[in-house]
Structure 1
Amino acid sequence: MLLSAEQVTKLYGDRILLDRVSFSLDRGDKVGVIGVNGAGKSTLLRLLAGAEEPDGGAIVRESNVRLEYLMQDPAFEASRTVLEQVLLGLSENARALAEYEAKSILSRLGVRAFEQKMGRLSGGERRRAALAAVLCRPCDVLILDEPTNHLDSDMVAWLEECLRARKGALVMVTHDRYFLERVVRSMVEVEDGRLFRYEGNYDDYLERRAQRQESERASERKRQALLRREYQWVMQGPTARGTKSRERLERYEALKAQTGPEEKASMELSACASRLGKKTIELRGITKAFGTRTVLRDFSCRFLRDDRVGIVGVNGSGKSTLLNLIAGALRPDRGEIEIGETVRIGYFRQEVPDMDGDTRVIDYVKEIGNRIATPDGMVTASQLLEQFLFPEPVQWSPIGKLSGGEKRRLFLLSILAAAPNVLLLDEPTNDLDIPTLTVLEDYLERFPGIVIAVSHDRWFLDRVVRRVFAVEEDGTLRAYPGGYTDYLEARRAAERARAPKPRQEKRPEKTAGAPKRKFSYKEQREFETIDGEIAALEAQIAQVQAEQAANASDYVTLQTLQQRQEALETVLEEKMERWVYLNDLAEQIANQEK
């Protein structure tokens, strides 16, 4: 056993977050941890990683176990370069071995300016650098808290394959259900201070959790039936009960003292929206640039009254810019946006706006209204909070005591309660727990208006959207019908169609009269010079990286240099493929002469 928690208790104030829980991790285990926001998922990971100490019980680690931990808000030194931060703490020998892999992983995660200072990176780039730091170090146990946050869809797909292939033990908190479906082998649910473990992936968890809950309900029905029978006996007159045993009375009291499984509040939201007229939102020839980089180019679209649109693309491609243009937070450089008179936009941004930490949760909602209209009638602010899984004790707590995910859920409540008829959702799945996401998806299916969502969550996009707009490198948007899986299949089919068909090299038959293989004049010249060409390309890439470090504060120049580096890397990859072919041919020629 690599790692275990034995009868661990953790308190926050007077709240028992984890109540005498036990957990074990063996070699090769891959465990997904889920639960509602605030249940204690991240706390469990911090305890396992040694970042916090339990208030009771013990965390036991095998001697010499190597452990790497990605926390939600990684610490960093602003003056260190990206590469220094990623390789921090490694010995000189270990640095030499890890540097190449670190650069490769950083490039995969879209962080290519290795010499840039950490303080100049965005929050998402810093988190991707922290992810690279734990992935490039060999370890026995990898603990990841929301590893897919701030990754685009291609990065998420790459990380999924990386973790699937990894041999060591893994424990992670994530809301990405495809990740849980494809990577983990067991699930742990944190609920009411307890841990419930289920073998299998996310689909298996859903089935086995339903079985457990039905078993608990069956046990409670049996207890209630027995309690009713015993109650009838107790209520008989003293004469009739005079000869009854004292043990039976004690059994009745024990049954009465027991509590059944608590019925959880369910976040079932009434899909309310103000009336949307025929004229909705139309974009005509929209172009938007930042400096010399055009992020959106000549985009036209008219959104239908019940549209469900997903926006995908690499980080920084212009997805959020499109939402900001529709919301009126930005103005296009060219083109025009026409908004219908009945349109009411609700914009769920990536960043939760500043909330007064001293304001009570219920007072925050009352600013929208003491009584809020829904299709099912008027509800009070307190009732609406109950629907959003904020029980009464939490409603009267200050916002400052909420977790990051709970604040995001409260922000979502404020958006939906205002009854918009157009929803703009910018990475809505970040920091929301799976129960909340499931209910949000159900809500959006019934929502009588337009939904436009930027998301990297493949499950969410497959469940919600009916067409996908992909933002290309040159700023154009390409439309694909269907959800994310349909888009991915269409993109792969297009790539296969564009790919040049490989030449069929005729291999000589090994017969006495077969002609021998030999270089053509062009191949011979290429074979003699290709090593130097590869070295020159590597030197040019190194020079571009040095220029990136020197121009780290110049966004426009940095973007140009990054594009230059990507072009050089493409040429280098082609040269390396050609080098492999030529060396293979040279080996065949040499073998013929033996």
Structure 2
Amino acid sequence: MTVYLDVQRLTKWFGERLLFEDVSFSIAKGQHVALIARNGTGKTTLLNILAGKEDYDEGSVVYHRDISVAYLEQNPQFDPDVSVIDACLLHTGELAELIAEYERRLALNDESVNELLEEMDRRGAWSFEHEAKEVLSKLKISDFDRKMGNLSGGEAKRVALANCLLAEPDLMILDEPTNHLDLGMTEWLEKYLSRSNKAILMVTHDRYMLDAVCTQIIELDGQTIFSYPGDYERYLERRADRMSAADASMARANNRYRRELEWMRRMPKARGGKAKYRKDAFAELEQKVKQRHEEQNARLEMKATYIGAKIFEAQYVSKSFQNGEAPPTVILKDFYYNFSRYEKMGIVGDNGSGKSTFVKLLLGELQPDEGRFVIGETVKFGYYSQEGLPLDKDMKVIDAVRQIAETVDLGGGKRISSMQFLNHFLFPPKKQQDYIYKLSGGERRRLQLCMVLMKAPNFLILDEPTNDLDIATLQILEEFLIDFKGCVIVVSHDRYFTDRVVDHLLVFKGNGIIKDFPGNYTQYRQWQNQQNDTEKQEKTRQPNSKPNEIVSERPRKRKMTFNEKREFEQLEKDIENLEAEKSEIETALCSGTLSVEELTQLSKRLPELNEVLDEKSMRWLELSEI
């Protein structure tokens, strides 16, 4: 098989910091490879080197002669005065010049324009422009004459993605291609790439896409490369095996570490100069053991502020935006929802369907046209926006965090310092002393998320939290949210993340239509596919040739539909939570320690709770008899 890209013993320093050393791998014709690494370890730098945008210190990067390469950067740059459609023609070289010349002559009513028609037909210019518009439309870019300078960062990234796909290069290098895509776009791109016969090197945090598209995974870990053939599931298995083997080696390193530590403590000061080589070896060994220990024990824990029974209630909320003389864009229409304690909800839908507007309404940043949001008194929001918190780039990481809190309450009487908390969030002590301007984009996002969590909220609202985060951070965040004793709303295009974290969905379909679904995203898609199949069967069903013939048969008990099964499971969870809350209230009422205000509040809540419990129990009984 023809090797398109061969990387041998590549080494890169960033000032005095070694990013990676002796990195070697190759990509062959048609091979789909994913690159996995933690934020700040040099993923984007490595891709920039491969694309010829950055230099390296040692090694070699060799491409097969005459192959074409397209590179999707995280933050692509365009001429602001170029139109969207022209931006998609930039990579076509002579073809772009031909189309531009045709447009120029046409605008001047130049009769010589006819001379170009035959050449454009021969070169396939017409079909290419049609294909470009089709791909852009799939990525929800519809105004092809709009200037690039008027696009948002997310729209520009989608135009750049379209540019890469339309170039049909021999090798595509894609840096986080799913950022700024909604779920529909992500699923379309996944199918497109999985069917492609082009070679692909991709950095992505989307584990479902990685699993569907890639046949090999290379991991940049500990400044070197490890290769794993197979999909993401196989990678997890092989990596676990590697970690187990490394643990045995690390146990030996630990023993050496202890012996060296004893030697360092016994060593007379006067011998310091003669044994410098041994000190250096000890320091290197100490760092190796500590780093491995930190990675193995990285787990995020903290105590959420107490959250009462009343969370929030959306009372028949309506919101729309007027677009000049065009019909208004309806976001919400008579929307009602009563959020229950400990609920973990996902909000999904196409870009522009109103997901972020809903969050801003909930937080009070926007006001509804009709209706209102009633927020419980004990609710303390923690909001992680797509834009992130403002950061002082000239401040050290640890100082930025200490501005919020010196210590973090883990519950059970246990507190840790802000330094220890950062360590749990994959910021080792040395990294905590870095200035924020030195952090990678993913590390800044991780720091911003850490600062939101340090405020001990009991209601987390996370708007696209997975953008730019590495898989290791996502795994830590997922475990934290699963165990979180509070409420969670997640707006995300990351299907894997949503499946792991949420148990309930609000699906924004546009024009004020919102589907309330008890389950995660994969379950919703399964239900949706079942609905589509049922509709197709009903349309194609042929009438019975003997309509008057009645066949007597024993009536069969109806089975639950997929949606009813999801509702049944959700009811069981709700009833369990309500019973627990009822027990807490009854215990508190009998304690004799409540203030008059607390006694009044709980006495009012108990009959409300019983009413909801009765309703859900009756519905549970109805479903259980199916």
Decide whether aligned partners of structure 1 residues 225 and 395 sit closer, same or farther in structure 2, where only a CA change above 3 A counts: closer
Is contact 1:105-1:132 (8 Å) kept? yes
Shift in Å at residue 143 of structure 1? 0.5
Shift in Å at residue 20 of structure 1? 2.0
Is contact 1:227-1:255 (8 Å) kept? no
Is contact 1:371-1:381 (8 Å) kept? yes
- 1:309 paired residue number: 345
Q: How does 1:232-311 map to 2 (within 5 A)?
A: 259=285, 262-265=291-294, 266-291=297-322, 292-311=328-347
Q: Provide Cα deviations, 1:38-71, integer angstroms capped at 9, x if missing partner.
A: 1111111111122222121111111101111100
Q: How far apart, in 2, do the equivalents of 1:478 and 1:200 lie?
A: 37
Q: Are 1:186 and 2:216 an aligned pair?
A: yes
User: Please, which moves more after superposition, 439-448 or 43-52?
Assistant: 43-52
Amino acid at match of 2:367: R
Q: Are 1:381 and 2:418 an aligned pair?
A: yes
- 2:129 paired residue number: 99
Decide whether aligned partners of structure 1 residues 193 and 223 sit closer, same or farther in structure 2, where only a CA change above 3 A counts: closer
Decide whether aligned partners of structure 1 residues 355 and 223 sit closer, same or farther in structure 2, where only a CA change above 3 A counts: closer
Is contact 2:302-2:409 (8 Å) kept? no
Q: How does 1:100-139 map to 2 (within 5 A)?
A: 100-139=130-169
Aligned-residue sequence identity (percent) comes to: 42
SS of structure 1 residue aligned to 2:90? coil
SS of structure 1 residue aligned to 2:292? coil
- 2:238 paired residue number: 208
Amino acid at match of 1:188: I
Shift in Å at residue 479 of structure 1? 0.7
Decide whether aligned partners of structure 1 residues 257 and 388 sit closer, same or farther in structure 2, where only a CA change above 3 A counts: closer
> Tell me, which stretches of 5 or more residues in structure 2 are unaligned?
96-122, 262-277, 323-327, 544-626
Q: How far apart, in 2, do the equivalents of 1:257 and 1:319 lie?
A: 50
- 1:31 paired residue number: 33
Is contact 2:466-2:494 (8 Å) kept? yes
Decide whether aligned partners of structure 1 residues 374 and 254 sit closer, same or farther in structure 2, where only a CA change above 3 A counts: closer
Q: How far apart, in 2, do the equivalents of 1:230 and 1:126 lie?
A: 54
Q: How far apart, in 2, do the equivalents of 1:361 and 1:95 lie?
A: 52
Q: How does 1:440-459 map to 2 (within 5 A)?
A: 440-459=477-496
Is contact 2:260-2:282 (8 Å) kept? no
Q: How does 1:141-160 map to 2 (within 5 A)?
A: 141-160=171-190
Q: Are 1:340 and 2:376 an aligned pair?
A: yes
Shift in Å at residue 435 of structure 1? 0.7
Q: Are 1:325 and 2:361 an aligned pair?
A: yes
* TM-score, normalised with respect to structure 2: 0.74
Decide whether aligned partners of structure 1 residues 396 and 218 sit closer, same or farther in structure 2, where only a CA change above 3 A counts: closer
SS of structure 1 residue aligned to 2:469? coil
User: Please, which moves more after superposition, 148-157 or 376-385?
Assistant: 376-385
Q: How far apart, in 2, do the equivalents of 1:428 and 1:356 lie?
A: 21
Of the candidates 494, 499, 503, which is equivalent to residue 462 of structure 1?
499
SS of structure 1 residue aligned to 2:163? helix
Of the candidates 158, 162, 169, which is equivalent to residue 199 of structure 2?
169
Shift in Å at residue 128 of structure 1? 0.6
- 2:517 paired residue number: 480
Amino acid at match of 2:475: T
Decide whether aligned partners of structure 1 residues 255 and 340 sit closer, same or farther in structure 2, where only a CA change above 3 A counts: closer
Shift in Å at residue 220 of structure 1? 4.2
Shift in Å at residue 97 of structure 1? 4.6
Is contact 2:354-2:510 (8 Å) kept? no
Decide whether aligned partners of structure 1 residues 380 and 186 sit closer, same or farther in structure 2, where only a CA change above 3 A counts: same
Q: How far apart, in 1, do the equivalents of 2:258 and 2:391 lie?
A: 50
Shift in Å at residue 504 of structure 1? 7.0
- 2:468 paired residue number: 431
Amino acid at match of 1:342: T
Shift in Å at residue 228 of structure 1? 10
Is contact 2:505-2:516 (8 Å) kept? yes
Shift in Å at residue 229 of structure 1? 12
**CA RMSD of superposed structures (Å):** 2.5
Q: How far apart, in 1, do the equivalents of 2:535 and 2:254 lie?
A: 67
Amino acid at match of 2:170: D
Is contact 1:267-1:436 (8 Å) kept? no
Decide whether aligned partners of structure 1 residues 87 and 280 sit closer, same or farther in structure 2, where only a CA change above 3 A counts: same
SS of structure 1 residue aligned to 2:341? coil
How many residues align? The count is 486
Shift in Å at residue 154 of structure 1? 1.0
* TM-score, normalised with respect to structure 1: 0.78
- 1:546 paired residue number: none
Q: How far apart, in 1, do the equivalents of 2:181 and 2:485 lie?
A: 30
Shift in Å at residue 95 of structure 1? 4.5
Decide whether aligned partners of structure 1 residues 402 and 229 sit closer, same or farther in structure 2, where only a CA change above 3 A counts: closer
Decide whether aligned partners of structure 1 residues 310 and 96 sit closer, same or farther in structure 2, where only a CA change above 3 A counts: same
Q: How far apart, in 2, do the equivalents of 1:161 and 1:399 lie?
A: 38
Q: Provide Cα deviations, 1:170-219, integer angstroms capped at 9, x if missing partner.
A: 10000001011111011111122211111111111111111111112223
Q: Are 1:367 and 2:371 an aligned pair?
A: no
Is contact 2:346-2:491 (8 Å) kept? yes
Amino acid at match of 1:5: V
Shift in Å at residue 393 of structure 1? 1.8
Shift in Å at residue 475 of structure 1? 1.4
Q: Provide Cα deviations, 1:416-461, integer angstroms capped at 9, x if missing partner.
A: 1101110001011111111111111100111111101111111111
Decide whether aligned partners of structure 1 residues 15 and 169 sit closer, same or farther in structure 2, where only a CA change above 3 A counts: same
- 1:529 paired residue number: none
Q: How far apart, in 2, do the equivalents of 1:408 and 1:27 lie?
A: 35
Is contact 2:205-2:470 (8 Å) kept? yes
- 1:567 paired residue number: none
Shift in Å at residue 140 of structure 1? 0.9
Amino acid at match of 1:370: E
Is contact 1:98-1:137 (8 Å) kept? no
Decide whether aligned partners of structure 1 residues 398 and 119 sit closer, same or farther in structure 2, where only a CA change above 3 A counts: same
Q: How far apart, in 1, do the equivalents of 2:355 and 2:321 lie?
A: 14
